[in-house]
Amino acid sequence: MRLLIYIEPTSYIISLLSNIKTSTHVPIKVIFLEENLTQNWGIDLKGNSEIKVLRGGVFSNLIQLLKLIIHSDIEVVHLAGWGHPLLLAAMLSARLLRIPITVETDTPLPVELSSWKRAIKKLIYPQLFKLPAMFLPGGTRQAKYLQYYDVPSSRISIAQMTVDVVSISEHVDAIDHTRRAGIRRSLGISEDAVIFLYVGRMEACKGVLELIDAFTHQPIDDAKPSGLLLVGDGSLFESITQKSTVDLRIKTTGRLSGSELLDMYAISDVFVLASSFEPWGLVVNEAMAAGLPVIATERVGCVDDLVVNGETGLVILAESTEILTDSMQYFLQNESLRHSMASNARNLIDGWTLENEANNIVSAWKKVSL
C-alpha cells in the first residue's frame, strides 16, 4: 500500500488522486491533515474509504498518523512537502522504519529571505533532505530549490504540476461565438472588448491592486475597447468592488468554481498574474489550457516551465505598475501576436496533463520501492 499525506483536500489534489488510482494497481490510502484550511473548497469526501481527514487535536492526530505508519503494510510514504509538523513526523517515523519516502514540493527559492534564516536553512535542510528517497518538484524552479540544498539530481524527478487540462480545453472549445457573446452580455461586457482576466484570492501579495492600477492607466479607446475581469474573493474584495463602480470596464464576480469559472476563461483574451509571491500558480495552467496567453511576474513559480517570454506570454518584473501597463498595452495593440501566443500556450500545456503528472509520481514510487 502507498500512504499519501496531504495538507487539505483541494480540487486539484482530488483530481490528481483520481488519476493516480488509474495509473497504479497498488492500493493507496490518503490522509488529509486538515479540511478547508485556506478556503472552503466544497468537496464532499463521504463514502470514500480510501480517504481520511484527521479531525482531532495535534497530539491525537499525531498518534493516529504514527499508528497507521507503524501498523499498516506500507511500501511507500508519499508526502506533500515538509512544512507541517505532522508531515515532518511522518517523514521521520517512515525513515526510522526504513519505509521509502517520496515528497512533492512546489517550493521555489525565496526571493527575499533574511541572512540568518538563509543560514539556518542552509545548515538544516541538507540534512533533512537526506531522508526522502525521491523528491517530486512541480517544475524547474522547484528542482533548483532542492539542488541548492544539496539534493542530487538522481533523487529529483519533476512531477510537472498541473490541472485537469483536458477537461478545461474541452469545456472552452465547446463554447461557440454565440454562447461566448451571451456570457459576456450577462456580465455587461461588450462582445468586441479585449478582456484581461485575473483568477485568485483578492490579497495584496497577488498583485491585484497593481493590476487594477495598470489597467486604469490604459487609455480608453473606443476603437480598441478593453475590460478587466476579476474572479475571486478575499480581504480586498470589498475595496476592489468599490473600484469597479468607478471604472465600469472593471468587473468582479466573487469566487467561482466548476463550469462558471471555466466560462470566465472562455470569454477572456489574456490572463494576468501579477503576484509578488507565488510558489507555483495553477491558475496559469488553467489559463493556458483555456488557450489564453499569460502575463506573469518573475515571482510566479511556474514561469520557468510554462510562460516562455514572447511565445506563450510575457514574464515581467513584480511590483511595477508601469511595466504591467506596457505589457497589457502590448497585447491590446497586437491582435495577431495575442492569437499566436494563445495557440502556443495551448500547445505547450497539452503535455502537462494530470495523467502525465500521476504517471510521474507512480514511476517515482516504483523506483524507490525496488
Full pLDDT tens readout for the chain, 370 residues: 999 999 999 989 999 999 999 999 999 999 999 887 777 777 878 777 789 999 989 999 999 999 999 988 999 999 999 999 999 999 999 999 999 999 999 999 876 778 888 889 899 999 999 999 999 999 999 999 999 999 999 999 999 999 999 999 999 999 999 999 999 999 999 999 999 999 999 999 999 999 999 999 887 777 789 999 999 999 999 999 998 888 999 999 999 999 999 999 999 999 999 999 999 999 999 999 999 999 999 999 999 999 999 999 999 999 999 999 999 999 999 999 999 999 999 999 999 999 999 999 999 999 998 6
**What SS3 string covers 144-155?**
HHHHHCCCCHHH
Task: Say yes or no: 99 and 240 in one domain.
Answer: no
**Cα 277–Cα 354–Cα 265 angle in degrees, nearest 5:** 60
The CA distance from 47 to 278, in Å, is 34
Q: What is the CATH number of the domain that holds 204?
A: 3.40.50.2000
Specify the pLDDT at position 160.
98
Task: Say yes or no: 152 and 37 in one domain.
Answer: yes
Task: Say yes or no: 139 and 245 in one domain.
Answer: no
Look-up: residue for cell 472588448? 193
Task: Say yes or no: 7 and 52 in one domain.
Answer: yes
Structural domain of 222: 165-349
Burial of 46 (0-12, 13-18, 19+ CB in 10 A): exposed
Number of domains in the chain: 2
The CA distance from 136 to 364, in Å, is 8
Specify the pLDDT at position 256.
95
Task: Indicate the SS3 state at residue 235.
Answer: coil
Task: Say yes or no: 158 and 307 in one domain.
Answer: no
Task: Say yes or no: 30 and 141 in one domain.
Answer: yes
Q: Among 232, 218, 321, which residue's Cα sits nearest to residue 274?
A: 321
Q: How many residues does the chain have?
A: 370
Task: Say yes or no: 224 and 148 in one domain.
Answer: no
Which residues share a beta bridge with 365?
A: none
Task: Say yes or no: 106 and 183 in one domain.
Answer: no
Task: Say yes or no: 148 and 267 in one domain.
Answer: no
Task: Say yes or no: 329 and 359 in one domain.
Answer: no
Specify the pLDDT at position 35.
85
Task: Say yes or no: 174 and 279 in one domain.
Answer: yes
Task: Say yes or no: 200 and 343 in one domain.
Answer: yes
326-329 contacts: CB < 8 A, separation 24 or more? 327/295, 328/196, 328/214, 328/215, 328/218, 328/226, 328/270, 328/272, 328/295, 329/218
